[in-house]
Amino acid sequence: MKQARESNDWPTYLADAAKLQSLLNSSPNTWLNVARGEMHAGHLDKALAAVETYAAMGQSAGPLFDVPEFAPLRQSPKFASLQKQMTANEAAVSHGTAVFDIAEPGFVAEDIDYDPQSKRFFVTSIQKKKIIAVDSGGKATDYAIAPDGWPMMALKIDSQRRLLWATEVALDGFVLAPKADWGKSVVLCYSLADGKLLRRVDGPPGSALGDMVLLTNGDPLLSDGAGGGVYRLRQDAKSLERVDDGSFISPQTPALAPDGKHVFVPDYLRGIGVLDLSSGKVQWLAMQDKYALNGTDGLYFSKGALIATQNGTSPERVIIFKLDSSLSRIVSSEEIQRAGTLGDPTHGVIVGNDFYYIANSGWDTLNDDGSVKNGAKPTPVQVMRASLN
């Protein structure tokens, strides 16, 4: 597509855009590609229809259409109404209330979970490379320090077995880990009561095991956002077992389906796939030209619905996708929070009838290599709560 664009070969560009759209399950940005190609091919009506679909998926292009390239679209009378809709999509929505802040400077939170017995939240830190525990009064204490000195990422509590599972990841190209360790991941198991490290299992070379869910028997299921694999760590196994068929590009936080045999796996680029744990096959939830399922970081299942934290949509948001009785099709959506005070929301946890989520993680203060952006002013990590009733 890039080569075709540079050579003004728009028929080839459109053909390749269609292939990419198929691969990415018609995610919002693929409609922008189509709009660009149709406009340059002289098909303004088709270009405007593509932008209309993009806007209907709740997205905003920001200043994208202000560039000279899109002048023909801007001159169409219909574009004004589309611009108005995209601007409306940027309006802040908030049905959540603040619960507690993590005031430690430069914490940068990634994952969160809750132990109902001790009534404590546990949160992993990217920059501080540790796990903290936060009590019901909002007081935070250090729980565990990363044994290898890498960012701490995924976190799940097995309250029944009194275990805490976590991952430590030396992200490739990330200055917060030694260059010699880049591309390494480890799975860690702690005694929940006292933070004693019980088990350490290496991940595959070149992996970034950044997300996790626990299966019904307590086995961790982990997503490799860098290599695309989904892995299971069986009880007492010394290595991870890959369970997917290779369909994922960048899988994120899995959500276990009620039958315990299927898992909803959000792919940052392709949307949400339903993974069969026995066969490894994946079926994708259709976006239906109105639901943006890409850019999902955290995903959680509750009462026939999926709750998603999306820091890769425009704008960022926390949203509920209601499923049909077969759990194979989205029938409606409702935003919990959108834009406004959101700062790269990452993960959440369901506690009773409430959803607690990291609304302001601090990731937006970091460059792609993990260094702090020039002039960035870190604000406290904020955890919010929204009722699921």
Q: What pLDDT, on the 0 to 100 scale, is given for residue 135? A: 96
User: What 3-state class would DSSP assign to 90?
Assistant: coil
User: CA nearest 167: which of 115, 198, 210?
Assistant: 210
Residue 201, pLDDT score: 98
The predicted structure's pLDDT at residue 233:
98
- Residue ranges in the chain whose pLDDT is less than 50: none
- pLDDT score for 341: 85
86 φ, ψ (degrees, to nearest 5): -65, -35
For residue 377, the model assigns a pLDDT of 85
- Positive/negative CA dihedral, 276, 227, 13, 290: positive
Three-state SS at 217 = coil
Nearest Cα neighbor of 337 from 361, 305, 308 is 308
Confirm if 178 and 170 have CB atoms less than 8 A apart.
yes
Q: pLDDT tens, 109-132? A: 999 999 999 999 999 999 999 999
Q: How far apart are CA 88 and CA 61, in angstroms?
A: 11
Task: Please give the pLDDT value at position 95.
Answer: 95
**Which residue matches tokens 């044994």?**
147
Specify the pLDDT at position 64: 87
pLDDT for 378 equals 82
Measured in degrees and rounded to the nearest 5, phi and psi for residue 75 equal -80, -10
- Rounded distance between C-alpha atoms, residue 347 and residue 252, angstroms: 10
* Tokens of residue 206, six digits: 């070149």
Write down the residue that tokens 């299921």 correspond to.
221
- Give 132's Cβ-side CA count (13 Å radius): 21
Indicate the domain borders of the chain.
Answer: 2-89, 93-387
Check residue 62 and give its pLDDT.
84
Question: Are residues 350 and 328 in contact, defined by beta-carbon separation less than 8 angstroms?
Answer: no
Provide the CATH number for the domain formed by 93-387 in this structure: 2.120.10.30
198-250 pLDDT, tens digit each: 999 999 999 999 999 999 999 999 999 999 999 999 998 999 999 999 999 99
**pLDDT for the residue 178:** 96
